Amino acid sequence: MGALDDQVAIITGAGRGIGAAIARRFSAQGASVVLAARTEKEIEKLADHLAPTGKGAIAIPVDVTQPAQIDACIRGCLDTFGKLDILVNAAGSQYVSSVALSDPKEWIYDIEVNLLGLYRMCRASLPALSDSKKGRIVNIASRMGKTPAPLNSAYCAAKAGVIAFTAALGAEVARDGIHVNSICPGFVETKLLNDTMANTARITGRTVEEIKDILEARSLLRRAVSVDEVAALAYFLVTEATGMTGQAINITAGAEIH
């Protein structure tokens, strides 16, 4: 028996990184999982891996900038599993550029994915989560939403918005039994991090190794946070954290939040 037996979860960004780790953790604890991401082959592969060991896993290709695809994802979840108890918003992008040299389309796209896509997923999911009577929403924000960094203005703005949105939504839906919290990781070993470091290296003239050393030096543990550590926190928020809502929880390997 797992703590998430009879629970149904939609996880965006589930093709890789944090989203995939959360999907694995939830499935291992008995949840039925809907894997939602643009990376169709990756979520199908993960669904095939999880299906024999969990309570069911389906892959639904979703671009969170497309409302029709979000609606189709919710319908697919309800048609397959009959309900929705947990929503995890882990889809993300990170545009690296100075403001002066930024491409407005790329800058706005970061807001579309990280903030507006998250809003759309929450809005579309609320009726089913309310029916659950014990709905849980976990939004993946970032340390950068609290401690902004240069060359990441769009990402920082979006993640700060996620933190504020989480608090506002948590206040709105508490009486419906829905708890809403966000996780604020420091740097996490993912493909997104590797791409971000490569882009930062290109702009600054530093090497990727130098940038990684700088990031590690900022944390007390002198390392990145693992995707499994973030997944463990997400699991806590949907199981044991019954007295928490509207919060933004840091997991930074000890890196200071200003």
Catalytic residue among 95, 109, 119, 155: 155
Q: Where are the alpha helices (DSSP H) in the chain?
A: 17-28, 40-50, 67-81, 104-111, 117-132, 153-173, 191-204, 208-217, 227-239
Do residues 203 and 97 make contact, with C-beta atoms less than 8 angstroms apart? yes
95 part of the active site: no
* Cα distance between residue 235 and residue 248, in whole Å: 15
Q: What is the number of residues in the chain? A: 258
Q: Considering Cα of 217, then 155, then 231, then 41, what sign does the dihedral take?
A: negative
Count Cβ atoms within 10 A of the Cβ of residue 113 and give its class: 0-12 exposed, 13-18 middle, 19 or more buried: buried
H runs (alpha helix) in 133-177: 153-173
Q: Dig out the tokens for 157 from the structure.
A: 């703005």
Q: Which amino acid is it at 98?
A: S
State the catalytic residues: 155
